[in-house]
Structure 1
Amino acid sequence: MSRFQLLSDEQWSLIEDLLPAPTGKPGRPFRDARSMVEGIIYRYRCGIAWRDVPEAFGPWQTIWTWHRRMSADGTWDAVLTRLLSAAHAAGIIDWSVSVDSTIARAHQHGTNLTRHTQGAGSNYTNPRIEPPDHGIGRSRGGLTSKIHHLVDGRGRPLVVLVSPGQANDAPVFEHLLAHLRVPRLRGGSARTRPDRVRGDKAYSSRAIRAELRRRGIVAVIPQPSDQIAHRQRRGSRGGRPPAFDTADYKSRNVIERGFNTTKQWRGLATRYDKLAVVYRGAAVLRAITLWLPHLSDTP
């Protein structure tokens, strides 16, 4: 396999029909969709500027335009949904899910545009609409963004969202859970409910626990010390402590290992993209490449 061929033939066949086809319109010669997708993967894997993408993949302007459009029109989300449906049908999704986020420092080339931060925030309901703050916020580490993941029991992403770096994790959780929807290949209602949710202390809130309890989802979330102290001060009025499975919580480390794998793409470990839609599209594409080997015979 050439260093410029990043997907096997079998992996490409799983997603080919969902990607744009040549239009036949006059103009520059059309480069096939596979070279465009592999050019996008190459750019984010290496963390290079778009204009430095090797000519073997085609004109860099075309590659960027493809990625920008497919991030905004939902093509990458549709591809990931297709793979999740196939994985669900094959019984390889572990529905004991984990939730967390990881910080990515925003490079100066990704922040040189006007950002409206007063009352702004990422659009979690429709992440394909560009937010006024472009998903960049100022935290202790400077200008940063967060990638939020809901992953299965083996650390493979099911839902991907992007927020400013200073955003709290807990308010994003309800949106991650709302976007969890895996259609069934043979019809019927899509699966939207995991068996259990593992999260760290950032997700220990009454609202989150109440929602999980209402939907019959087991919460494996430890309580922070301040919540424990508050309950104990109230005595019998504080109620019983929430159930917590210490042994099961150890499996939450799959999401930490998953973030390490995701950030092997240098263009995700550091954010070079100006637009949150484009950056999230790359994170969804990374999730696609993590699922593809599990659905083909080629690693």
Structure 2
Amino acid sequence: MRSTGSRYRVFTDEQWARIEPLLPSNQGRRGHPFGEHRRVVEGIAYRYRTGIPWRDLPREQFGPWQTVWKRHRRYAADGTWDRVLTQVLAEADAAGMIDWAVSVDATIARAHQHATNTTRPDQDTGAGANHKKLPLTEVEPPGHGIGRSRGGLTTKIHHAVDGRGRPLATIVTGGQRNDGAVLAQVLAEIHVPRPGPGAARTRPEAVIADRAYATGVIRTELRRRRIRAVIPDKKDQIAARQRRGSRGGRPPAFDEQAYRGRNVVERYFALAKQWRGLATRYDKLAITYRAAVTICAILTWLRA
């Protein structure tokens, strides 16, 4: 393999040694075998870090751009990056590195015109009955996860991060989707296997969220799953309770000290959006855009 310069690399040698065994191998695969794994994967990361068009990838560093794109498209569709992240999370949990006081929030990314010259946001993408058998993260959502919001055509990234701001789960939707309406899907994506016998861990100790998640439905669901809710009441909810006096009932428990830790999810968004290809969405397909978000999450954990 031709060595790529340090300015083109994202993974250190130690980080690459951890994920290389988790990537698909050549064994048992028909057709042209996978080659130069690191060169191609570094090309994928470089494209999203810089936000350049696929055709402008430096050929002398990463080879033909078509190879890099096709590998990314394949890995996005077959869930390769989700499996890598799951394994990295399992190793982190076994080492006691995950703080299970989980913060949730969403951030908006403007959709570039190159991402929107396809199916319109209010149209279906043709996800048929067969797609219902696939995991949510491997299905192209309606409108390719692009919707109309105040900022125009946008995509929204919903994240759940641990208490130290490292991502555990990701959902990509249209920018018009309500944050609270997607919370159940985000929590359902948390899946951290245990190294030995026993079921995978899927339940946080607490969910820390802002007022966008302050609904009775969400509080009831968290209570049903025995998850502590650290969510402040909306101002209109407080006022309505005060107007009713003793009939308004008790306000929900709120741990103000724990809520101060919610900023870790905002800090992670700021970190992830240093990748220009994430801050602005150029991908036509939501699954390829989400796969890049997952690569950024993997790197975050490897650096930890």
Which secondary structure state, in structure 2, belongs to the residue aligned with residue 231 of structure 1?
helix
Find the partner of 1:219 among 210, 229, 240. Answer: 229
The residue type paired with residue 102 of structure 1 is: T
Cα distance in 1 for partners of 2:167, 2:31 equals 40
For 1:1-299, list aligned pairs within 5 A: 2-22=6-26, 31-55=35-59, 56-115=61-120, 117=122, 126-294=136-304
* Deviation of 1:118 (Å): 5.2
TM-score by length of 2: 0.91
CA contact (8 A) 2:104 2:208 kept: yes
Cα distance in 2 for partners of 1:132, 1:199 equals 26
Larger deviation, residues 14-23 vs 112-121 = 112-121
* Deviation of 1:211 (Å): 1.3
Which secondary structure state, in structure 2, belongs to the residue aligned with residue 244 of structure 1?
coil
CA contact (8 A) 1:20 1:33 kept: no
CA contact (8 A) 1:181 1:190 kept: yes
Which secondary structure state, in structure 1, belongs to the residue aligned with residue 106 of structure 2?
strand
The residue type paired with residue 46 of structure 2 is: Y
CA contact (8 A) 1:74 1:128 kept: yes
Larger deviation, residues 261-270 vs 109-118 = 109-118
* Deviation of 1:116 (Å): 5.3
The residue type paired with residue 25 of structure 2 is: A
Cα distance in 1 for partners of 2:93, 2:220 equals 27
Q: Which runs of 4+ in 1 moved over 4 A?
A: 23-27, 118-125
Larger deviation, residues 119-128 vs 160-169 = 119-128
Which secondary structure state, in structure 1, belongs to the residue aligned with residue 207 of structure 2?
strand
CA contact (8 A) 2:124 2:142 kept: no
Which secondary structure state, in structure 1, belongs to the residue aligned with residue 143 of structure 2?
coil
Specify every segment of 5 or more residues in structure 1 that has no aligned partner in the other structure, as ranges. 295-299
* Deviation of 1:22 (Å): 3.8
The residue type paired with residue 7 of structure 1 is: F
After superposition, give the CA deviation of every residue in 1:144-189 in whole Å (9 maximum; x if it has no partner).
Answer: 0001100000100000110101110001001111111100012211
Which secondary structure state, in structure 1, belongs to the residue aligned with residue 201 of structure 2?
coil
CA contact (8 A) 2:155 2:175 kept: yes
Aligned sequence identity (%):
61
TM-score by length of 1: 0.92
Which secondary structure state, in structure 1, belongs to the residue aligned with residue 82 of structure 2?
helix
Larger deviation, residues 67-76 vs 118-127 = 118-127
After superposition, give the CA deviation of every residue in 1:105-146 in whole Å (9 maximum; x if it has no partner).
Answer: 000111111225158899996121112310000111110000
CA contact (8 A) 2:121 2:147 kept: no
Name the structure where helix makes up a greater proportion of residues: 2
Change (3 A) 1:213 1:26: closer
Change (3 A) 1:185 1:254: same
Cα distance in 1 for partners of 2:111, 2:126 equals 17
Which secondary structure state, in structure 2, belongs to the residue aligned with residue 230 of structure 1?
helix
Cα distance in 2 for partners of 1:33, 1:254 equals 33
